[in-house]
Amino acid sequence: MRWLTIALHEIRMNFSQKSIIFVIFIMPLILIFVLGSSLSGMNMFKQSDVEVEQVSAGVVVDENSPLQQAFDDWIEHEKVKEFAVFKRYETEDELRRDVKNQIIEYGVIVPSPSQGSEPISITGVQGTLTITNLTMETLIDSFNAEVGKTIAAMKRGVDPAKLEEVRAVEAVASPTEESEIVKVNSSNTKMVSAIQYYAVAMLVMFSLYTGRGLAESLYHDRLNQTLHRTLASPIRMVDFVGGRMLGHFLFGMLQSVFIIGFSSFVYGVDWGYNLFVTFGVCALVLVCSLSLGLIAATWFKSQQAMKTFIETVIVFMTAVSGGFFAIPAVQQSVGSFTISYWGMELLTGVMKGESWNEMWLGLLILAVIAFVLCTLSLIFVRKAVVR
């Protein structure tokens, strides 16, 4: 009960300060509106029909796939090269990442066949441009038809090399036969709008400021000489620190609920299919933030130095993670080592409707970061509280 009493006291203290209410609850909504509306014309947020002369596509072909040679021959055909140029990828993850970052406009995945009589499923990974997607789907359908006709001809005892001669006399393969051999799936890489993107960025950035609030409350108690008197009372260190962290954690979750709810109902932001995952990510970001706040309170004797350090770290992590302006090269190299990057990746992933298979690694990495920071903060917590 002591934890809860201390936590409720911290929440009341936060709500009693008008400056905190403005910065934590109002400022993010203003920035979401301003950035989302002013930068909505950027290329990364456009989803429109444009004239495309040649599509930049990527392809992953499994070495054990019986379609490997046929696909290699097909992409070298003059008519195919007129509409698309293909770049080879080793893994499916690399291809999907480049489609997502708009390095390539479309992706094709040709796997090895599964056991049994199931057809081979060629997967097309769609990009942002409708005309590009239609062009590539038409090309893949033509490849599907050619493969189906070739295999059907071989079943009838016709030499595939003489297929053109036989085709002049009769139709070699029916649509039914083709569909049993190769199947084409469409994997749509749903893109987020500008207002969605910056709603995520501002939510993560302002959630990270929660740790600064925790550190400031410790400095405030030291300055007022109330901290030592509190510790002299029959209150255990774990109750004192745990209650403080719980109070700021709950305050941060209220902030997340308010930003998500307001942006959803007023700005029309679609936060995706799973709010459980969304709030789980928010909770992990808050744990990281509170841990950073305790660590900063340990390192710096001056409150101003602590605030400068935390604000610099937050702005840096937000910038290299694309929170202000998306730069894919920087995000993938520097940004991937930050809390902001993984928080934004996971929240935008929920918006795009990504599956658990695509999100579990990011969740694991963010959880590991939170665990490491929390462990370090608990190791140095006595020094942060008692100086």
* Rg (the chain; Cα; Å): 28
| DSSP one-letter string for 166-198 | HHTTS----HHHHHTTEEEEEEE-PPPPHHHHH
Tokens found for residue 158: 């016709």
What pLDDT sits at residue 373? 93
What pLDDT sits at residue 168? 41
Which letter, b or e, does each residue of 198-219 get, where b requires 16 or more Cβ atoms within 10 Å of its Cβ? Answer: bbbbbbbbbbbbbbbbbbbbbb
What pLDDT sits at residue 369? 95
Q: Where in the chain are the domains?
A: 2-42+193-385, 55-188
Strand boundaries in the chain, DSSP class E? 55-61, 84-88, 106-110, 120-126, 182-188
Digitized pLDDT (tens) for each residue of the chain, 387 residues in all: 677 777 887 888 888 887 788 888 899 999 888 887 776 555 555 544 445 567 888 888 877 666 677 777 778 887 788 888 888 888 888 888 888 777 888 888 877 655 444 556 678 888 767 677 777 887 877 777 766 655 555 455 544 444 444 444 443 344 444 444 445 455 555 567 788 889 999 999 999 999 998 888 888 777 766 655 665 566 676 777 788 888 999 999 999 999 999 999 998 888 987 889 999 999 999 999 999 998 988 888 888 888 999 999 999 999 998 888 777 777 777 888 899 999 999 999 888 888 787 788 889 999 999 999 999 988 877 665 655
SS3 label, residue 261 = helix
Note whether 339 and 320 are within 8 A (CB).
no
Note whether 126 and 78 are within 8 A (CB).
no
Task: Tell which residue, 186, 199, 60, has the closest CA to residue 130.
Answer: 186
Q: What is the CATH number of domain 55-188?
A: 3.40.1710
What pLDDT sits at residue 113? 57
